[in-house]
Amino acid sequence: MVQRRGVFYGWWIVVGGFVLNFIGIGIGINAIGVFFKPVVDSLGFSRGDFSLYFTIAALSMTAAAPLVGKLLETLNVRVVMGVSTALLAVSFALYSQCQTLTHFYLLSVLVGVGHAGSHIIPVSTLISNWFRRQRGLAMGIVFTATGIGGLVFNPVANGLILHYGWRETYILLGALIGVICMPTALLLMKRSPEEEGWHPDGAGRAEGAAPEVAAGGYRLGEFAKTPVFWLLAGMILLVNTLNMGIQQHLIPYLTDIGHSSTVAANIMGLYLGMTVFGKLVLGSFCDRRGLKAGLAIFTAILVVGILLLFGAASLPWAVLFGVVYGFGNAIQTVLPPLMTVAAAGLAHFALIYGIMTIFQTLGSGIGMPLSGYLYDWTGGYEAAFYVYIGLAVLAALLGMAALKRARFKAV
C-alpha cells in the first residue's frame, strides 16, 4: 500500500461522527427531558408510565443492535447509516401526533431502531477502525458532541416549547435530524482506512498501533463465554442506568425543588456541556495513563457530582452539580468502546460492540422509569440518588475486574 499524503481522512470520520452524535444524541436522547413535564401535564400521564416510552425505545435499540453490527460488517456503512438517520428523523417528528401512551410506545420502537444505526454503534466502530495510537482522543472528540448537543438543544428545545408548544417542537427537531444527519452519513462516513488507501492514524504500520491490537480479536461466541464479557456488560448496564435515571429526571427534579424551567434547562445544558471537557480529558488521559486509572478517577468525580444533587435547591450547588457531574459523566460514552477493544480486539468489533450497546440501552431503559417510579412511590427523587451512588461504585468494581483480564491492550 502506498502511503497517502495530505490531511488524514480519519479526521473527516471524526467530523462526521461528531455531527451525527451532536444531532442524533444531542436531540434524540440528551434533550428529551425538556419534553417530560409539558407532555405529562398536557396529556395527563403519570411520570412512571410516560417514562416507559424511553424504555421501549431502548429495548428496540437493544433488539436492533446486533443486526446493525452485522450489517455494518457486510454492507455499505453509508447506506446503513443513511437509512437509520432517516427513520430516526421521521419517527421522532411523529411524536408530535401522539395522543395516548400507546402512540408514544409504538413510535418508540421505530425511534430505537433509528438510534441503533445512526450514531453510537457505527461511529464507535469507524473510529476504532481508523485510529490506533490516538483512539482515545478521537473517541473523546466525537463523543464531546453529545454534551455539546445537550448544551445547545436543551435551552433551544425549552424555548421552542415555550413559544410554539411541544408538538411543534418535535416536528422542528425531527426535521433538523433529517436535514443534517442524512447528508453527513451518506457523504462522509467510510468503513476503514485500508479501503481508502490509508493506514490507521495516517501512518505506516510500524508507527501505528501495537501489533496485538491490530491483528485480531475474539469472535462473538468466544467472547461471550469469557468472564470479561459479563463483567464489562454489567459495568456498562449500571453506568447507563444511573446516567439516564438522573439525566432524564434532572429538569423535573430541579423544577420540583423551586427552580424555573429555564434555569433547569440551563443547568442541564451546563452538565452536558461539561461532558465535553470530561470526554476530551478522559480520552487523552486513557491514551497516556491507561483505562484503569481513567475509570477510577472519573467514577470518584461522578459520585461527588451525585452527592451535590442533595443541595441543589441552592442555585450555586445546582451549578456546581452541573460542572462536577458533567465532567465525571464522560465515563458513560468514552470508556465502553475503548474497554471493548481492550477486552475483545478489533476483528469483530462492530458486531461485539453492537451486543455491548444492548447493555447500554437496557441500562438507559431501566434508569428513566426507575427514577419515575421511585418518585411516584416516595414523593421525591432522593431515594433514587442513593441507589445511583451505589450503582456507580459497583460499576467501577466490575470495570476494574474486566480490565484486569483484558487481553488485547495494556491497560
**CA–CA dist 43, 58 (Å, integer):** 23
Confidence of residue 70 (pLDDT cuts 50, 70, 90): confident
- pTM value is 0.71
321 grid coordinates? 452539580
- What residue type is assigned to position 173 of the chain? L
Confidence of residue 409 (pLDDT cuts 50, 70, 90): low
Alpha-carbon dihedral 302, 308, 310, 312, rounded to 10 degrees: -130
Helix then strand then coil, % of the chain, to nearest 5: 85, 0, 15
The pLDDT of residue 74: 83
What does the longest C-alpha to C-alpha distance in the chain come to?
Answer: 65
Q: What is the pLDDT of residues 208-222, one digit of tens each?
A: 444 333 446 788 888
What proportion of the chain, given as a percentage, has pLDDT over 70? Answer: 94
CA-angle at 152, arms to 150 and 157, nearest 5°: 85
Q: What is the pLDDT of residues 339-397, one digit of tens each?
A: 988 888 877 777 788 788 788 878 877 887 899 889 889 988 999 999 999 999 999 99
- Domains of the chain plus CATH, in order, are 10-404 (1.20.1250.20)
